[in-house]
Amino acid sequence: MSEAKSGKTTAIISYITIVGCLIAITMNMEPKNAFARFHVRQAFGIHLFFHALAIVFTFMGVVYAPLVLYALYLILLVSGFLQASSAKTKPLPLLGDHFQKWFTFIS
């Protein structure tokens, strides 16, 4: 439990905008914390996924899809934030496990 307790602040910061995620990455460089690393990868994946889809939808000219995307983004961020604040490491549905594999450069 001490691992989760010591990495909780970094994990929570990672869910607060993409800038917060980048700050959390640098906060977790030394000392490294597995709990924080898990949440930083999840948050980085959420932010990257949202911004990539927002760019695609903008160029496609899709009208209502961004509203659904934004709602999903907020739901995922709140879910991750609540898990980080309650010291849990459950991956997000569908893409959570992939985020852990894809973003191994975040250590």
User: Residue 98, Cβ neighbours under 10 Å: how many?
Assistant: 13
What's the pLDDT at 82? Answer: 94
* Structural domain includes residue 49: yes
Domain-located, residue 67: yes
Enter the DSSP assignment of 86: T
Give the pair of three-digit tokens for residue 97.
């496990």
Q: What is the pTM of this model?
A: 0.87
Q: How confident is the model at residue 1 (pLDDT cuts 50, 70, 90)?
A: low
Do residues 24 and 11 make contact, with C-beta atoms less than 8 angstroms apart? Answer: yes
Task: Give the per-residue pLDDT at 105.
Answer: 86
Q: What is the pLDDT of residues 27-82, one digit of tens each?
A: 988 888 999 999 999 999 999 999 998 888 888 887 777 788 889 999 999 999 99
**Structural domain of residue 56, as residue ranges?**
2-102
Asked whether residue 107 is domain-assigned, the answer is no
